[in-house]
Amino acid sequence: MTSSTTDSAAADAVGGTAPSVVVFDYGSGNVHSAAKALEAAGADVMLTSDRAAAENADGLVVPGVGAFKAVVDQLRPVHGPEIIGRRLAGGRPVLGICVGMQVLFEHGVEHGHDADGLGEWPGTVEALKADVLPHMGWNTVDAPDDSVLFAGIRQERFYFVHSFAAQSWELPASGRTAPKLTWSDHGGRFLAAVENGPLSATQFHPEKSGQAGLRLLRNWVQSLAARSA
């Protein structure tokens, strides 16, 4: 699937030229829903696993559903870790969604098995400490005042479907801009989103989160346009 047709008002909102976004089609995730939502948010979307396209687009979206290890195992044959790493080394934006966020951490522990992630962030993804799992449905988030993703939607609710999450942030402080961390709660606090330079991610599904999710994706797409201006 490819698309070069976007809503004209959405394109105008990002400066008249729609940023190119690849939704990485590696065999996992709500790729078609994500692509449609990104088109509505003003992006020129391509749904593909082509390496050159994924490396060269203005933005790369990495969706994911299911088990941590299964997603990592699906990413490796299509060079997902290398593509993500090369983009970030060049300061080119990446957005992970749901398990596409989880695999950015070093490890994932599911049913007692420790699987290696992509290691872009230190830390471990583990089961939520809640009586009822999965955490499924709408929930609020606690976003920082200077968040780019949550500009104008800090008080909104977003749609979650997961049993595992990163529940602490372990990246040491450095001289660079501090990451923007957004939290939510289900049996305890967990990371609902991270904005860390060119690498951003959400534990919830913006493509399933109605107008709030569309606004978040529009905020991200607009940030792509601002980078290329």
Helices (H), the chain: 8-13, 31-40, 51-56, 68-75, 80-89, 99-102, 210-228
Instruction: Read off the DSSP letter of residue 180.
Output: E
Q: Point out the catalytic residue in the list 39, 98, 126, 162.
A: 98
Can you tell me the distance from the alpha carbon of 164 to that of 152, in angstroms, rounded to the nearest whole number?
A: 28
The separation between CA 108 and the C-alpha centre of its own chain, rounded to angstroms, equals: 17
Is 205 annotated as catalytic?
Answer: yes
Q: Could you confirm whether 39 is annotated as catalytic?
A: no
Please tell me which residue in 39, 126, 156, 207 is annotated as part of the active site: 207
- One-letter amino acid for residue 144 of the chain: P
In angstroms, the CA 29 to CA 128 distance is 21
**Residues recognised as catalytic:** 98, 205, 207
